[in-house]
Amino acid sequence: MKSRLSSKGQITVPVEVRNELGLMTGTEIEFLVRDVLPEAVHVAQAADVFLERGAFDATQARRYLTACRAAGLELRLHGDQFTESGAIPLAIELGARSVDHLEATGEEGAAVLAESEVTGVLLPASALFLGRPMPPGRALVDAGAAIALATDFNPGSAFCESLPLVCSLAATQLELAPEEALSACTVNAAHVLDRADRKGRIAAGHDADVVLVAADDWRHLAYHLGGPVVHTVIAGGEIAWKRSA
């Protein structure tokens, strides 16, 4: 599927969708709400929209997310990757669980996010891949904002599935302490996914999903940049993968 690529590199609405359906700017939102959403609610748990210059603006994003919320989906946004275009205020207004990227978020945006229940999901691998400034992790934490970490694994801007690498970038580039990075990619990430009641920590009543690190110190998760730090993966109490050597 060929998609339109903006001058900044973000992929927006596929070209064949516009051409075959005759969609114009703004009209594609109604297509999504009318034709796609009724089917998507049967397989999806959350809806996400990229609010950014060259993608969807705040008016379009609000229309789409409001409809998704009415259909019973959790809400998330990607925004503030290149410009502050209203992603954080909209996420707060609509009660989204998270707003991802935040590379362009300034002091005011950080302060507003800190006063809300919305989690900022930081994606340092994407910033590295695109040669962009890193998200202001230290500033967000110091302002009191809740943060999570993720790979943003996708073929366009972050072809990276390594969460240990993201933890290393969080410590070395975002100025997070190892324990902050660990919390951000475990319990805080579980909260974003609405799974904090059974994932994200080792506790009674939680799913027995555990990653064992091949190191004498847990802080190697953030310290060993790009290294093979995972020794064993336990899923549901059973060994799902174990390093051979």
Q: pLDDT tens digits, residue range 46-77?
A: 999 999 998 999 999 999 999 999 999 999 99
d(CA 235, CA 54) in angstroms, rounded, equals 40
Give alpha helix (H) positions in the chain.
Answer: 15-21, 27-31, 37-40, 58-70, 87-94, 107-114, 124-130, 137-143, 163-172, 178-185, 187-192, 220-223
- Calculate mean pLDDT across residues 86-90: 98
Kindly report the pTM of this predicted structure. 0.89
Task: Judge whether 82 and 104 are in contact, CB under 8 Å.
Answer: yes
Across the range 208-228, mean pLDDT stands at 93
Chain mean pLDDT for the chain = 91
- Span 152-164, mean pLDDT? 95
Domains and CATH numbers, the chain: 3-202 (3.20.20.140)
Cβ proximity of 148 and 189 under 8 Å: yes
Mean pLDDT of 190-205: 95
Cα–Cα separations (whole angstroms), residue 242 to 127, 226, 227: 31, 18, 16
Cα separation, 152 vs 102, in Å, equals: 13
